[in-house]
Structure 1
């Protein structure tokens, strides 16, 4: 009887210990925002997959911060690539008191959302938005872990002038913060390299018919076209270039068109092989952990990889690295640690300039062969 009482007491203590340890688990929410609906949903899904994979990996590490075991959860929002929805999503995450945010995808949504995060004191890291104006306000809550448009536009202009020896280029942009920004940089550097900008045309990020624009450009006899915009417009534009007999004209663009989806959207157009596009960061094969990470990603999310998921993965880890170094998940406490980041990620060694820009950003140029994206450098 006495032994039975002892065993019961031990069992009760075990239950109490289990309850105590369960109470010591703290749920920490990390926000993620990208277009999950509309023409750019393939980018958004890829970005969210990267952040989700990071959260799952972090939860296997039994991380303890401030004496509590941490369980991370992703609070995912859809901004549909729309600035108004972007600020609404940002405010929703502020109201939900998330610890930090990964996002947004588009510069046009990230720039206005950055003010919302700054005002509510929550840090955000984008691995996709590239307009240099993002970091100009000097918010201590804004970080970017990818090259900005100054690097992308300049890299493409140098390649057009120095490697391809082009002389006459037309420029088209979609009037978004991203498209206009990268086009402006390209124009400025191209002109400084002796390239004549023979025509400038504008479209929108909803358009699919570019015949009038391309007909006007064709009359100016260009040897290249630069497009500042995204692949839902880039693919149809390539098809229509072929239809109009612009099959020998080079086609340049930033990371917005530099996707595997572009090949599908071009639907067999031979002009796809004339594409030269730029991405911030190294190619997957040259990233410190790129190829091993991509195998894991593909196993979990087959046929969904686009461009930015390695960066959203790293962005999530960079936020948590700052929490660990501060021994706090409170944004007021850990945000000052972000600027001191020295984190070895999948994409690169991540450290920041005083304005939140990535130190020593790389860019990679790509083209397409047999429908597949291949690195040029």
Structure 2
């Protein structure tokens, strides 16, 4: 999905506020020095192989800014309006780093981003060096917050949570259904994201007595076909395939599984960027049927989350992914911090973010709160499954909207 010009989007949803959301264009529409404007820098892959995901995140941030500005802006600062200054990371760490420094130099009081963990690691270093708060909407690598940073905060659960939780859920489901695991093959993209989730999954799986088969990797940025990798899964004799990747390569994996037809009881994502998304059944077709994912998910029972999804659909003529909700919440967290701080000073904003107590759009264990490392203590991985052409939560039982279908063999 290509990012649309935000001026036309604002018109579509009836807004009267002009926001800067260009992909890496820089600047602030002539508002530099305007005390009634507060810049927030966004850093997402707006071009490259993950541009569709970057657009979702950027759009989520835009909608949050619109809502806040339409409600009167930051009241503690005399109704000052928020304005996005958008940076295009192009999905590369070096570009993310240089764009982050540009946004800070241009006056951004806080940063939001960035989808890829390797990129966010560099942005976090820039944020710390410049003492500007950075709220990570999507980026799971545990190592990012292992350096004692004070200015970086993560909204989504970290990779180790996803990996360990996925192993536990597989153990629970296969035991309850009386269909034991014979061997688990694991396919993942090869950066810190996929490798981190795999490492945590393998460690937990071994503790639980789950037999591990081959680890198969690929380059998400360049891969155009995954049939060779899925052929290795078939040859391994595994009855479960676990996948950790991004959206585009997740669709490729599903199509390859349908082509190669390994004898699987299930394909289960562990923080996979495709298998729980509303667009996945459309893009993967019948190959999507029955796919599971252990991931974050919008709270389908929340009136605010439903309103967000409806607004997103009206504005962008596309279904909102859960990641867009995290970007939306990241901007809300910064706006709430500005209200508490009553100041545009980044240090004071940072201290106010550390005291966040905000109900998110995603399923969670309570309001967003950050621990001393900057991790969201309420983040909650849930298990979804594609049923009747859409992802639904199926586990844990207390959050389930539908009953698990297992085994769910390739069709």
Q: Does the alignment reach a TM-score above 0.5? A: yes
Q: What SS does the aligned partner of 2:124 have?
A: helix
Contact 1:161 1:167 in 2 (8 A): no
**Is the aligned partner of 1:256 residue 2:273?**
yes
In the alignment, which of 248, 251, 263 is matched to residue 235 of structure 1?
251
Distance (Å, rounded) in 2 between the aligned partners of 1:24 and 1:102: 21
In structure 2, do the counterparts of structure 1 residues 212 and 297 end up closer, same or farther at CA, with 3 Å as the change threshold? closer
CA 1:37 to 1:264, structure 2 compared with 1: closer, same or farther past 3 Å? farther
1:94 to 87, 95, 104: 104
Greater gyration radius: 1
Report which of the two has the higher share of helix.
1
Distance 1:340 1:376, change over 3 A: same
- Provide closer, same or farther for how the CA distance between residues 149 and 24 of structure 1 changes in structure 2, counting only shifts above 3 A: closer
SS in 1 for 2:111: strand
SS class of match (2:153): strand
- Partners of 2:74 and 2:267 in 1: how far apart? 50
Are residues 1:296 and 2:306 paired? no
CA distances 1:164-221 after superposition (whole Å, capped 9, x unpaired): 2323011122111111111111111112111111111111112122232222221210
Determine whether 1:129 maps to 2:139. Answer: yes
Moved more, 109-118 or 214-223: 214-223
Query: What is the aligned partner in structure 2 of residue 351 from structure 1?
Result: 369
- Aligned partner of 1:55 in structure 2 is 65
The number of residues matched between the two structures is 352
Name the stretch that deviates more: 56-65 or 140-149.
56-65
Q: Aligned Cα RMSD in Å?
A: 2.0
Unaligned runs of 5+ in 1: 1-22
Per the alignment, residue 333 of structure 2 pairs with 318
Aligned partner of 1:174 in structure 2 is 189
* CA distance, structure 1, for counterparts of residue 152 and residue 231 of structure 2: 42
Query: TM-score normalized by structure 2?
Result: 0.80
Q: Which 4+ residue blocks in structure 1 deviate beyond 6 angstroms?
A: none
Q: What's 1:189 paired with?
A: 204
Which structure shows the bigger proportion of residues in strand conformation? Answer: 1
Q: TM-score, normalised by structure 1?
A: 0.87
